Structure 1
Amino acid sequence: MTLSKERRIGRHATLLVLADDKTEQQDLIDRLPWKSCNGKVGSMDSQKVVAAIETAAKQTGVIQSGVYRETHALYHATMEALHGVTRGQVQLGSVLRTVGLRFAVVRGNPYESEQEGEWLAVALYGTIGAPVKGLEHETIGLGINHI
């Protein structure tokens, strides 16, 4: 079971979320043999972050709406990424924190063997802090889960 540099799904999701403009994002997407989507979300409610990512993944065909295991895998990858963003305490508004995040979701098989199946990577990058403009700092999170 080998994981080559070109097949590192988390690396690709992170590069996609960090891309500065649409052209750079499209170049990354075109190079990938996998499905992906990206977007933005800002909220004091972690449920809204999860919902925005799930909605984008379903609307772009990264996951299938009626297949529970795909939604379940996305949920776990998203929660893992949120743990990174929130430093292990997945709380926002209840502790007076807000986030402004970009997200990227990548779906594919990071292994050489097709038998390993597909995986999902969710990368989050943006700001977190008090709900006052200028009182935030950068944050990043990555979650990976098998389907």
Structure 2
Amino acid sequence: MVLAVDKRIGKHAILLVLQSEAEESISLPPHWKYCTGKVGAMDSQKVVSAIETAAKREGIIRTNGYRETHALYHAIMDALSGVTRGQVQLGSLMRTVGLRFAIVRGNPYEEMEEGDWIAVALYGTIGAPVRGSEHETIGLGINHM
């Protein structure tokens, strides 16, 4: 099993989430799928729901079945853990987030039989629910499909 240098799925997800809307989109390997979006909330479940809804709406994961949704959920929770520094709680700790997200699905290995993986990157702000009291944050989660 060899990770292909040009197919680092986490790197592609981070580049997508960091690029501004005015920038030209990065090129992904053939047959990879991706989508981006935004979410702001004081509830971590709302963040999870927004990302899951986008992934289903854009055809990144199938709408029926459990396996792909479960893989996406774990990638989201890993990314959210990075954003929240290990405590995946928002409103109960009096903090809120304003995040951009990128979801990327593809095979990062040279061997096709390794199958697809999914990466979720989050970038934005976190802080007290008072404008001006936030700071930047970033998180990344990667899981096999």
TM-score bracket for the superposition, by shorter chain length: over 0.9
Q: Distance in 2 between matches of 1:32 and 1:114?
A: 13
Matches within 5 A, 1:27-46: 27-28=25-26, 30-33=27-30, 34-46=32-44
Task: Select 2:49's aligned residue among 45, 48, 51.
Answer: 51
Partner of 2:59: 61
TM-score in terms of structure 1 length:
0.95
CA deviations 1:12-45 (Å, max 9, x no partner) are 0000000012542xx21x4432100100000000
Question: In 1, are the aligned partners of 2:12 and 2:28 still within 8 Å (CA)?
Answer: no
1:7 matches 2:4: no
The letter for the 1-side match of 2:124 is G
Displacement of 1:4 in angstroms is 2.3
Unpaired runs of 5+ residues, structure 2, are: none
Two-structure CA RMSD over aligned residues (Å): 1.0
Q: Percent identity?
A: 71
1:120 matches 2:118: yes
The letter for the 2-side match of 1:16 is L
Q: Which structure shows the higher helix fraction?
A: 1
The letter for the 1-side match of 2:72 is L
Q: Distance in 1 between matches of 2:2 and 2:47?
A: 33
Partner of 2:97: 99
Q: Distance in 1 between matches of 2:29 and 2:90?
A: 33
TM-score in terms of structure 2 length:
0.96
Question: In 1, are the aligned partners of 2:121 and 2:140 still within 8 Å (CA)?
Answer: yes
Greater CA drift, 1-10 or 111-120: 1-10
Secondary structure at the aligned position of 1:63 is classed as coil
The letter for the 2-side match of 1:32 is P
Displacement of 1:88 in angstroms is 0.2
Matches within 5 A, 1:18-29: 18-24=18-24, 27-28=25-26
Secondary structure at the aligned position of 1:137 is classed as strand
